[in-house]
Amino acid sequence: MAKLSLKWQEDGPRYFLDGKPVHAGDLLDARTNDGAWTAVRFEYHWDRMANMTEPYLILPDHDRENRYVPAETECRWRGE
């Protein structure tokens, strides 16, 4: 289990989890406050003008709206 890390590459920023690149739309597991693991979708916003990036994890709710999970949350690849 690890947290997302940001590395800058020739083509821009890339997030990594356990040394593997994470792409927008990838499904991960995130540890919730009660210690359980739940499925989340990785997304991020890159402001090219400011050269800044902001990751976020989306947790689907039952009402089909999205809740955001802090990117600092402990994560793992789905099924690990």
Q: Residue 23 forms beta bridges with which residues?
A: none
The CATH code belonging to domain 5-77 is 2.30.30
Q: Which residues make Cβ contacts (< 8 Å) with residue 32, sequence separation at least 6? A: 38
Give the per-residue pLDDT at 58. Answer: 76
CB 55 within 8 Å of CB 43:
yes
Name the percent of the chain in helix, strand, coil, to the closest 5. Answer: 0, 60, 40
CB 76 within 8 Å of CB 5:
no
Q: Structural domain boundaries of the chain?
A: 5-77
Give the per-residue pLDDT at 62. Answer: 45
Q: How far apart are CA 35 and CA 37, in angstroms?
A: 7
pLDDT tens-digit profile, the chain (80 residues) = 688 888 888 877 888 999 999 998 899 998 888 888 888 888 887 766 656 667 777 776 544 556 666 767 899 999 77
Give the per-residue pLDDT at 49. Answer: 64
